[in-house]
């Protein structure tokens, strides 16, 4: 499970991603967690992948209720 905070400067929303983390950061959340246990954030390629995602534009489709 990957939790993201999305904001437009004024408003925030929180998104939880379960299975789609591979599309966003290139690996499962478990692999990402294990990588951070071995490497510091600055040396982790997976962390660097996540940081590169910050300024991209995404479209999320979902259901309410």
- Residue 60 within a domain: no
pLDDT at 21: 77
Would you call 44 helix, strand, or coil by DSSP? coil
What's the domain range around 34?
2-52
Phi (first) and psi of residue 5, to 5 degrees: -105, 125
pLDDT per position in the chain (65 positions), as tens? Answer: 777 777 777 888 887 777 777 777 788 888 888 988 898 888 888 888 778 777 766 666 667 76
- Residue 63 within a domain: no
The count of domains in the chain is: 1
Q: What pairs with residue 2 in β-bridges?
A: 17
- Residue 7 within a domain: yes
pLDDT at 17: 74
CA–CA gap between residue 56 and residue 65 (Å, rounded): 28
- Residue 62 within a domain: no
């Amino acid at each position: 499970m990957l939790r993201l905070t999305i904001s437009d400067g004024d408003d925030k929303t929180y998104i939880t991603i379960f299975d789609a983390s591979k599309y966003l950061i290139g690996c499962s959340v478990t692999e990402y967690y294990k990588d951070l246990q071995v490497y510091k954030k600055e040396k982790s390629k997976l962390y660097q992948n996540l940081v590169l995602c910050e300024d991209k534009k995404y479209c999320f489709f979902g259901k309410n209720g």
